Each structure stands twice: as structure tokens, then as C-alpha cells.
Amino acid sequence: MAANGQRRVDETGAVKAPSWPVVRRDDEYKAIHSALVDQPGVCGIVIIGEAGVGKTTLARLVTAALPTPVRWLAGTESARSIPLGVFAPLVGAGSSRDPVAFLATAREALISEGHSVIGVDDAHLLDQLSATLLHHLALDGSVRIVATVRRGESAPDAITSLWKDGYLQRLDLMPFNKGQSVTLIEQALGGRVEGLSADLMWDASGGNALFLRHLVEGALEAGTLRQVRGVWQLRGRTAVTSELASLLDSRVDQLPDPVLHALRVLTFCEPLDLDTLSKIAGEDAVEEAETRGLIRVSKNDGIEVRFNHPLFGEVIRRRLGMAASRRLRGELVRALNERPPTTPTERIRLAELTIDSDQAADVGLLVAAARDAIALTDVTLGERLARAAVSRGGGLKASELLARSLLWQGNAAEAEEALSPFHPDELNEAELVRWGLTRITNLHWSMGDADGADEVLAMLRAKVSDPTLRLLVDGVTSASSLFENQLAQAVALSQQVLADASASPAAVEWAVFGGAFALALMGR
């Protein structure tokens, strides 16, 4: 041992990172285990704490000891805008756009896999539909749930109600106290830490496990943490860094360009399949990122790559300007386009990347993705995608989707404006019905203009001759008649549609709605 201090190095001369122990925290461990195994009245637990306090580590430590199979999922910033993004792999390519069917399929897939415990990391990042599915699973008690939520972050109402309504127990996980922090550092380093150095690291980290880890590893790499006569001593300005972001910034600055490029790509599309990331950034860069502990590669309905901790992605995203972000999204778009999207999730993800990239957007993709988003009840996202399609010449299909997304958000006047550029005399019958039915829906049920809706209906009935399209118009007329208290007409038109085997599903839905409610009001 050198008297002037010794650094940890391996046989190549590189600084060796310490092997970090897992601090079990017995009281919290028992609380999580009890909620997942035998605690009556709840179906699981949500662990709330600051980023880096060890929520995921503790949750996985408990679930790893359970005798039952566990399915782990994770919310991400890049996937939170995609309806059912976390559960999408369970649904498959041939799934309906109907959100109720989507939820049912994902639920049945989870249950059929035999997973009695579901783990959800960063549940505050779930999209609304994924959050709704998790809420339904808690309500019917079909599985036990352990979820982690970052303190201070907004979460979907379906997530917060899990503990507010008593379905899940809430556990607030606090940072380590000073004694626990010193014990963790000494176990990782394999030796005693000088008192002054322990105080400095405690003050800098506040007991945050991730702060501590990066503080120690960064100090080892910089040579400011050395073992002197058997005691670890910290010397240098980097020892008192107070924010994890600055620690991660420092580590990012030291990364080789190929590794940094891989991380920059991943920050815009997480999780990303291994082949795609390797194709864009290179296999060596991805492998080195994994070796450095920056990313993790896991097999989960394919081989996926994620950040080992979301803060890596946040720091890297914060350092990117608009031009670089557009270029990186463009690289992703080119790579993902080599395998055309087949599911709503894939279409929405590719469309979102495209409109913010330096690549030309496929209008057909934007229209399809907008339709998917609206069908999955994310009308805000549907509006964004539809507007992008309209601005790129998407025509009536794009404008009709934009109008639909607007009317469902209560913006009836804007919905009318979206359809105003089109004149009925310039549309074919299918386009006329698409344009007219959206206007009728908006006029009648959003603007309360029954006369205006009746005028459009009358025009459709006069102009449309295609039998299938006429049945659709009749179905909508049945529903409209119901709201105008023309119950006999509503029933007659409904029966006419339902008696025709060629009626489309949409025509049947409208006819059932109008006829069934009219019969009920007639006492039949």
C-alpha cells in the first residue's frame, strides 16, 4: 500500500468501480413483502420517493424472493405519450383500435401468462390508458401490484387513486441516514472511510443512494478518492457536488463519442430494440454503454434497451439543442422505417418521431397514427398528429380527424372550421358521408344546433345512393331522431338498418343506440 495513496485499478490500469451492496432496509422490506403476500384489504403497494433513493432496487429485491412469477414493466418519458405504451407488447399487431378491447386483451394476456405479481417502475410516467389498466387490475384483485412513483412528479389520476382510495398501501421511502450512508460506502469500498470524508459525502448526497454511488465512482475515476494506510480519504472539489445532475454531467463529458451518440438516440425512443440501436450507433458503442452501467439490455417480448436510470436520459436530453434533436430523431425514423409499423403503438411512436425530425413525413402514417390515438381516447395527441397531417396536405381524412379530436375536447367552433375548406359538391359519396357525419355529430351534440344538423342530414339523404353508405346515414338519423323526440322514426330507421345484413358496424352501432333508447322511452 503506497503511503501517498492508492487507487483501485484492474489489470489493464483502468479504475475499478466498487461492487455495490444492496441495503435491505428491514422495516420497508417487510412492509412491501406483507402487502404483496398476506396483507388483507390491499392488493399491493406503491413506493414513493425521490429519484435515486432506491425504490426500484428495494422493490426488485422483495419480488425476487417471492415464490410466484413477477412481470416487471417500466414507464418512460418517451413512451408516456403513446396509449397503452407500457402494455402494448401484450396486445399484438392484430388488435382492435377500440380502447376497451385493447384493455381487455392486455389484461387477459397478463393473467394468462400466470404472473400473480405485476411490478411497474416509474408508474408516474404511464400514459392514461396504461394507468387505467393498472387501476382495473387493482380493482378486480386479479394480481398483486408493486409500483414505484417519483416524489414531486405529476402522475395520472388513475395512479394516484390507487393509494388514495386504499387499493394499494403507500410507502414513502426516505434517503439513507448518515449511519446507513457511511455503512454503504464502506461496504462498497471494502474499507473504513475517514470521518471528514464521510461527512463530506453525506453532506453532498443527502443520503440519496444514487448520489452516493455516482459521487464515489466519479471520485475514484478522478483520483480524488484514495486509500491511504488502509483508510479511504476524499480530497478535491468534486467531492462536495450537491446535485446529481452535475455528477451525471461530469460523467457524460467523459464518455467516448460513439457511446454518447448511442445514449442520445435512446433518449428519444426508450425502450428501443437492441438491433435498431446497434444499427444506428454501432454494436461496440452499445456494448460499452452496457458495460459502463449506463444502459441495461433485457429480454421482454424482444431484446430491449433502456437507461439503467432515467436520470441519465434526462441529463442527456437537457444538453441537446433543437437542431441536434431533429437530426437524432431523423436517424431513428430512417432505421424504424426499414420495418414498417404494424401496431397502433408503433405507428404513433414513429409518427411522433417523424414530425419533430428532419425527415419528410409520410402523410398516410400521420393520418393512421392520428386515428389510432383518437380511438385510444388520447384526443390531445390525436389533434397534434392530425394537425401535422393537415399541414402536409392530408386532405379530408386528416381534417376530419382533426375535427373529431377538437369536438371531443369541447372545441366545437374549431371543429367546424377544420371542415370548412371542403365543399360537398367536390366530394365523392364516401368523402361526403365522412364530412357530413362529423359535422352532424358536432352540430347536434356539441353545438346544440339541431336545425343545422338536420340540414346536413337532409343533404346526405338526397345525395348518397350507395346502399351501404345510406344505411350508415339511416343509423345516424335514428340517433338524431331520438334526441329530437321523434321516437317512432328513430325505431323505424333502427329496425331498417338492423334488418340489413350488409350494414356496416358503424351503422349498426348508431342504429342500436337510437332504436334501443327510443324503445325504452316508449315503455317497450
CATH number of residue 122's parent domain: 3.40.50.300
Q: In this structure, what C-alpha cell is assigned to residue 432?
A: 361526403
Question: Same domain, yes or no, for 84 and 205?
Answer: no
Asked, for residue 341, whether it belongs to a domain, the answer is no
Question: Same domain, yes or no, for 41 and 124?
Answer: yes
Distances (CA, A) of 56 to 49, 60, 170, 427: 10, 6, 15, 56
Q: How far apart are CA 84 and CA 91, in angstroms?
A: 9
pLDDT digits (tens, 9 = 90+) for 111-157: 776 668 999 999 999 999 999 999 999 988 888 999 999 987 889 99
Residue 32: closest CA among 123, 133, 110, 117? 117
Question: Same domain, yes or no, for 207 and 95?
Answer: no
Question: Same domain, yes or no, for 30 and 167?
Answer: yes
What per-residue confidence (pLDDT) applies to 2?
Answer: 38
Q: Is 246 exposed, middle or buried (0-12, 13-18, 19+ CB in 10 A)?
A: middle
What per-residue confidence (pLDDT) applies to 88?
Answer: 75
Question: Same domain, yes or no, for 160 and 244?
Answer: no
| Of the residues 250, 270, 294, the one at which a domain ends | 250
Which residue reads 340540414 in cell numbers?
455
Q: In this structure, what C-alpha cell is assigned to residue 410?
A: 369541447
Asked, for residue 343, whether it belongs to a domain, the answer is no
pTM of the model: 0.78
Question: Same domain, yes or no, for 523 and 502?
Answer: yes
pLDDT band of 300, cuts 50, 70, 90: confident
Q: Residue 271, preceding bond cis, omega within 30 degrees?
A: yes
- Structural domain harbouring 84: 26-172
Beta bridge partners of 295: 307
pLDDT digits (tens, 9 = 90+) for 351-379: 999 999 999 999 999 999 999 999 999 99
Residue 434: closest CA among 407, 408, 471, 460? 460
Judged against a pLDDT cut of 90, whether residue 171 lies above it is answered with yes
pLDDT-above-90 percentage for the chain: 64
Asked, for residue 264, whether it belongs to a domain, the answer is no
Which residues, including other chains, have CB under 8 Å from residue 316's CB and lie 6 or more apart? 252, 260, 263, 264, 267
Distances (CA, A) of 168 to 60, 73, 75, 76: 17, 17, 18, 22
Question: Same domain, yes or no, for 447 and 488?
Answer: yes
Asked, for residue 332, whether it belongs to a domain, the answer is no
Would you tell me how many other CB atoms lie within 10 Å of the CB of residue 50? 20
DSSP single-letter state for residue 88: G
Residue 391: closest CA among 377, 380, 401? 401
Total domain count, the chain: 3
Asked, for residue 473, whether it belongs to a domain, the answer is yes
Please, what is the average pLDDT of the chain?
88
Is 128 within 8 Å of 378 (Cβ atoms)? yes
Determine the Cα angle at 226 with ends 219 and 231, to 5°.
125
Question: Same domain, yes or no, for 92 and 193?
Answer: no
Question: Same domain, yes or no, for 166 and 205?
Answer: no
Asked, for residue 419, whether it belongs to a domain, the answer is no
For residue 368, what is the enclosing H or E element?
helix 363-375
| Of the residues 172, 203, 233, the one at which a domain ends | 172
Q: How far apart are CA 458 and CA 94, in angstroms?
A: 38
Question: Same domain, yes or no, for 44 and 182?
Answer: no
Judged against a pLDDT cut of 50, whether residue 11 lies above it is answered with no
Q: Is 136 helix (H, G, I), strand (E, B) or coil?
A: helix
Question: Same domain, yes or no, for 145 and 189?
Answer: no
Question: Same domain, yes or no, for 163 and 216?
Answer: no
Asked, for residue 388, whether it belongs to a domain, the answer is no
What per-residue confidence (pLDDT) applies to 147?
Answer: 97
| Of the residues 128, 153, 172, the one at which a domain ends | 172
What per-residue confidence (pLDDT) applies to 6?
Answer: 55
Asked, for residue 487, whether it belongs to a domain, the answer is yes
